[in-house]
Structure 1
Amino acid sequence: MASDEKRILLVEDEKTIRDAVAAYLERENYIVRGVGDGQSALEEFEKHSFDLIILDLMLPKLSGERVCRAIRETSNVPIIMLTAKGEVEDRIIGLELGADDYLIKPFSPRELVARVRALLRRAHAESEPQLEVLDFGDLVIDISGHKVMVEGKEVDLTASEFKLLTTLARYPGRVYTRMELVEKVLGYDFEGYERTIDSHVKNLRAKLGDDPRNPRWLYTVHGVGYRFEAPQKPEKKSAE
């Protein structure tokens, strides 16, 4: 079975979809709390602790965008966004707000369960102690403490952003294709989700203060993917 009684907040205004998804998740032994509007979602989030949130983009009272933004002000809990919109730009709105993954309606409940399982597995793996610190001067990545420091100040990253940064930073100079990063960061290989990585990179650059026009760490390899570069440390002048 998939869980150790993990708690999931399911925010979906269509009751038939909410009930069907909840049934699939409960079959996997997840504890599901379902609500039908954005205001109720925030109230539940403030009252209870959840391991993952499934959040519809189009909601009454408060939109999914506003709910996601409010949650991200205080928490890095994994979020899967649901959207009925098919345009590429619409599909990545949630990612740019800090969601970790998205699904387009109509979707298979079995695929959603697989996404939930992958996100929770990744979040659990990242919480396990890993005695490793990547020190690049102004950028320090503390794997064991799950912390990122830029010029001495801690930067708050989502689970996906942290995984993306550590994947790239462990092998400076190596170029990763978008599909490689989808598999490593999201936990599965799914055609068409390359733009997911672009959104995570955009968010990551903004939080690190890394200008894509003059990058310090994250470089775009056009037509391929991304690479991380460790800045050259200034050479010490020898005493005359």
Structure 2
Amino acid sequence: MSARILLVDDDAELTELLRDYLEREGFAVRTSHDGATGVTAALSNRYDIVVLDIMMPGMSGIEALARIRAESSIPVIMLTARGDDADRVTGLELGADDYVPKPCTPRELAARIRAILKRTSAVAVAPTLPIVVGTLSVYPAQRRVERAGVPFDFTSTEFNLLETLARNAGQPVSKADLSQKGLGRPLKRFDRSIDVHMSSIRHKLGNLADGRSCIQTVIRKGYQLIVE
């Protein structure tokens, strides 16, 4: 079955260009040209991933993302203006899985979509044992996280990053490795995506009993999950 993509952008010409390319690549694509309609469609459970433009009249992509995240963890890729770091960081903080600067090539967007779907749609044929780090349990097959029996809600990218840290618990993992394994793409210069995602994961997990964050920054080496 083809992966189902919802493309939300008020630029009708660009939308048609992207849809034609993505359909030739084997995706099933539906489009929406405003934020409100896009939110309704994204929450319909009919799609595997949403591509959402930030700059739209009426309801912006940022507001649309916030409404989607209030009810769903569906993967979301933001289309952002090139060089607009503020919007990118805001989108990531609200739970976007990744972003693609505009103008973008259809090929680059398709690659980003595949990278995210490859991680989110991977289901183990045989039961997979959880990764246990102290009171933290990560279940790769179910893409589920618990700490001391309490479940957590993570976006697909946050889960990918936490899983990578859990598999290397007690050892630092470089941002380059986290970007490749968590986002499915090489780390770009000045890219703050990993830092923003890590900040969100830390906030959701909270601190250890001694007040430390369970995810530590290791200078010039990356991030490390502490073994409790």
The question of a shared fold, defined as TM-score above 0.5 by the shorter chain, is answered with yes
Residues 178, 194 of structure 1: 8 Å contact kept = no
In structure 1, the partner of 2:67 is: 70
Residues 43, 72 of structure 2: 8 Å contact kept = no
Residues 182, 193 of structure 1: 8 Å contact kept = no
In structure 2, the partner of 1:167 is: 164
> Aligned match of 1:87 in 68, 77, 84?
84
The Cα of 1:89 is off from its aligned counterpart by 3.0
Residues 178, 197 of structure 1: 8 Å contact kept = yes
> Aligned match of 1:17 in 14, 18, 31?
14
Task: Give the TM-score taking structure 1 as reference length.
Answer: 0.87
In structure 1, the partner of 2:39 is: 42
Kindly report which structure 2 residues correspond to 1:18-167, keeping only aligned pairs within 5 A, or say none.
Answer: 18-125=15-122, 127-128=123-124, 131-167=128-164
In structure 2, the partner of 1:202 is: 199
Residues 132, 142 of structure 1: 8 Å contact kept = yes
> Aligned match of 2:227 in 227, 230, 234?
230
Q: Which amino acid aligns with 2:167?
A: R
1:176 match: secondary structure:
coil
Residues 116, 184 of structure 2: 8 Å contact kept = yes
User: 159-168 or 189-198, which moves further after superposition?
Assistant: 189-198
The Cα of 1:214 is off from its aligned counterpart by 4.3
1:35-77 per-position Cα deviation (integer Å, ceiling 9, x unaligned): 1110110222244510010000112221111211111122221
The CA RMSD over aligned residues, in Å, is: 1.9
Task: Give the TM-score taking structure 2 as reference length.
Answer: 0.91
Alignment: residue pair count = 226
Q: Which has the larger radius of gyration?
A: 1
Cα distance in 2 between the residues matched to 1:131 and 1:157: 19
1:12-56 per-position Cα deviation (integer Å, ceiling 9, x unaligned): 111111111111111112111111110110222244510010000
Give structure 1 stretches of 5+ with no counterpart.
Answer: 232-240
In structure 1, the partner of 2:184 is: 187
Q: Which amino acid aligns with 1:136?
A: V
The Cα of 1:138 is off from its aligned counterpart by 3.0
1:61 match: secondary structure:
coil
- Judged with a 3 Å threshold, the aligned counterparts in structure 2 of structure 1 residues 111 and 190 are, in CA distance, closer, same or farther, namely farther
Give structure 2 stretches of 5+ with no counterpart.
Answer: none
Cα distance in 2 between the residues matched to 1:117 and 1:57: 21
Identity, % of aligned pairs? 38
Residues 175, 187 of structure 2: 8 Å contact kept = no
1:187-215 per-position Cα deviation (integer Å, ceiling 9, x unaligned): 1214236411111101111111138x943
Q: Which amino acid aligns with 1:227?
A: Q
Residues 179, 194 of structure 1: 8 Å contact kept = no
